[in-house]
Amino acid sequence: MNNKRPLADLLRPASLKDYVGQTHLLGESGPIRHLCERQQLCSMILWGPPGCGKTSLVNLLKEYWQLPVLYLSAISSGIKDIKALVSTTENDLFKQQKIVFVDEIHRFNKAQQDAFLPYVENGDIVLIGASTENPAFSINSALLSRMRVFTLRALTKDDLAELMDRALSFLNEQRERTNNSEVAIDEPAKQLLINASGGDARRLLSNIEVALSLLPNSANETGLEQTKIVLSKSIAETACGEQVGSFDKQGDAYYDTLSAFHKSVRGSSVDGSLFWFARLLLASTDIVPICRRLLAIASEDIGNADPKALQVCLNAWDVYHRVGKSEGERAVAQAVIYCALAPKSNAVYAAFTQAKLLAKQHADAPVPFHLRNSTSSITKDLGHGKAYQYAHNYEYAFTPQQTYLPDEVEMTNLYQPSDRGFEKQLAQKIAFLASLTTGTTKS
């Protein structure tokens, strides 16, 4: 097939019934379906991962609303392009409302986004922005308040299988017109192509195109007695190439993956922890944020239940820098497994959070005189350090009657150790010290 247009463009849906996926938006009770059928205009943000059908959806809205579309790409356009486009709308003799479609709208800065505000406000344009980033963080609030946000999802395997069948039918029709043999895709190749696409329709169709370019045009060229050419798993593997993670290192998908990694370690899932760690590496994530996250886990989710976890993570990070990437990644994987299987406790995290809150509530509370240093004769005369009890002069290096909080702060037990790992021993120590304070120690 010599058509220069990519397969993804050739297969764009002409009506709602041809659209694959996003049934929550385009199904019988879907909000965008209602907008189409009622020809109800609405500025909107289409938020979703690459290849989920954002541009195809805009083309459908154009047909249903019967409005011209002016296209802008936030990657290659600036404030001058926006002004030129707006002036085209203002100078329209017929004052026909237009759709302005901005691809990757999150890449526009605040000033560029603000340029659309008056025209969206007075209805001169229907603004549709496509974004792979969370609009709550990437679109300024003034513009966002004037637009509806619709969340598109990555296509399911069933969606992709349906799209593949459509693509194959379309391609075979094209091949028949040029007297080329029919192409079939065997089941292992289908599954590989679907899995390799990661829910991205554009990637799926692109891989199919590459795979077809590796096939002969006719069955006779294969040297086998067959009426059709079969696209095998080995050809599909060649077409797909080496798979890499699809997320932007500053995007939501990146932080979602990092969150999945953290939650897997916290949840003591070794398989989940290693899987998400490997996914981060597959996407060429720098080791620094991964090791930082491990250290955070060691203090936030493990804490004193296993104090060694912090050192294990630090050692793994050090090994990575000493021996390099290949061997170093194994050392970090070792730390990942250790943290996943370590006893868990957030008692340190909870105690420190409460301590910060308590300190904020009593930010001006003076230090008790007995805890102050007597640094001069003046401070000594004022009573600094007076009545201080030196802990090492007492049994167990503990002074039961001495207080360590400001007078107006009530005694509290900020640290509540769990009964897991080393914290079980710490809980016993706290109970023992409490018994010394109350005088209930058994002799």
SS3 string of the chain? Answer: CCCCCCHHHHCCCCCHHHCCCCHHHHCCCCHHHHHHHCCCCCCEEEECCCCCCHHHHHHHHHHHHCCCEEEEECCCCCHHHHHHHHHHHHCCCCCCCEEEEEECHHHCCHHHHHCCHHHHHCCCEEEEEEECCCHHHHCCHHHHCCCEEEECCCCCHHHHHHHHHHHHHHHHHHHHHCCCCEEEECHHHHHHHHHHHCCCHHHHHHHHHHHHHCCCCCHHHHCCCCCEEEECHHHHHHHHCCCCCCCCCCCHHHHHHHHHHHHHHHCCCHHHHHHHHHHHHHCCCCHHHHHHHHHHHHHHHHHHHCCHHHHHHHHHHHHHHHHCHHHHHHHHHHHHHHHHHCCCCCHHHHHHHHHHHHHHHCCCCCCCHHHCCCCCHHHHHHCCCCCCCCHHHCHHHCCCCCCCCCCCCCCCCCCCCCCCCCHHHHHHHHHHHHHHHHCCCCC
In CATH terms, the fold of domain 252-341 is Zinc Finger, Delta Prime; domain 3 (1.20.272)
Q: Is residue 157 within 8 Å of 53, Cβ to Cβ? A: no
Of the listed ranges 196-200, 260-264, 344-348, the one predicted with least confidence:
196-200
- Return the sign of the alpha-carbon dihedral for residues 394, 397, 401, 404: positive
pLDDT band at 226, cuts 50/70/90?
low
Average pLDDT over residues 47-55: 91
In CATH terms, the fold of domain 353-438 is post-AAA+ oligomerization domain-like (1.10.3710)
The residue to which tokens 């296993």 are assigned: 306
Q: Rounded to an integer, what distance in angstroms lies between the CA atom of residue 440 and that of residue 250?
A: 57
CA 374 to chain centre: 54
Q: Rounded to an integer, what distance in angstroms lies between the CA atom of residue 159 and that of residue 164?
A: 9
pLDDT band at 220, cuts 50/70/90?
low
Superfamily grouping for domain 22-151: P-loop containing nucleotide triphosphate hydrolases (3.40.50.300)
Does the pTM surpass 0.85? The reply is no
Q: Rounded to an integer, what distance in angstroms lies between the CA atom of residue 7 and that of residue 167?
A: 8
- Return the sign of the alpha-carbon dihedral for residues 37, 40, 41, 46: negative
User: Does residue 344 have a pLDDT over 60?
Assistant: yes
Listed ranges 61-65, 84-88, 144-148, 228-232; the one with the highest mean pLDDT:
144-148
Token pair in block for residue 63: 């047909």
What pLDDT, on a 0 to 100 scale, did the predictor assign at position 54? 93
What pLDDT, on a 0 to 100 scale, did the predictor assign at position 27? 87
Average pLDDT over residues 399-428: 90
Average pLDDT over residues 343-359: 94
Of the listed ranges 25-39, 247-261, 283-297, 400-414, the one predicted with least confidence:
247-261
Nearest-CA neighbor of 171 among 203, 142, 211?
211
The residue to which tokens 């090791």 are assigned: 291
Percentage of residues of the chain with pLDDT beyond 70: 90
What pLDDT, on a 0 to 100 scale, did the predictor assign at position 298? 97
Average pLDDT over residues 397-405: 90
Q: Is residue 241 within 8 Å of 211, Cβ to Cβ? A: no
What pLDDT, on a 0 to 100 scale, did the predictor assign at position 259? 92
Nearest-CA neighbor of 8 among 202, 164, 241?
202
What pLDDT digit, counting tens, does each position of 420-436 carry? 999 999 999 999 998 98
User: Does residue 244 have a pLDDT over 90?
Assistant: no
What pLDDT, on a 0 to 100 scale, did the predictor assign at position 217? 64
Q: Rounded to an integer, what distance in angstroms lies between the CA atom of residue 123 and that of residue 97?
A: 8
Please measure the distance between the N-terminal and C-terminal CA atoms of the chain and give it in whole angstroms.
Answer: 93
The residue to which tokens 């954002």 are assigned: 54
Phi-psi category of 330—alpha, beta or left, where left has phi over 0 and alpha has psi -120 to 50? Answer: alpha
Average pLDDT over residues 277-293: 89
Domain ranges of the chain: 22-151, 157-240, 252-341, 353-438
Q: Rounded to an integer, what distance in angstroms lies between the CA atom of residue 212 and that of residue 223?
A: 18
User: Does residue 25 have a pLDDT over 90?
Assistant: yes
What pLDDT digit, counting tens, does each position of 371-395 carry? 998 888 888 888 888 889 999 999 9
User: Does residue 89 have a pLDDT over 70?
Assistant: no
Beta strand pairing call for 148-151 and 125-131: unpaired
pLDDT band at 443, cuts 50/70/90?
very low
Kindly report the CA angle at 245 between 243 and 251, in degrees rounded to 5? 160
CATH code, 157-240: 1.10.8.60
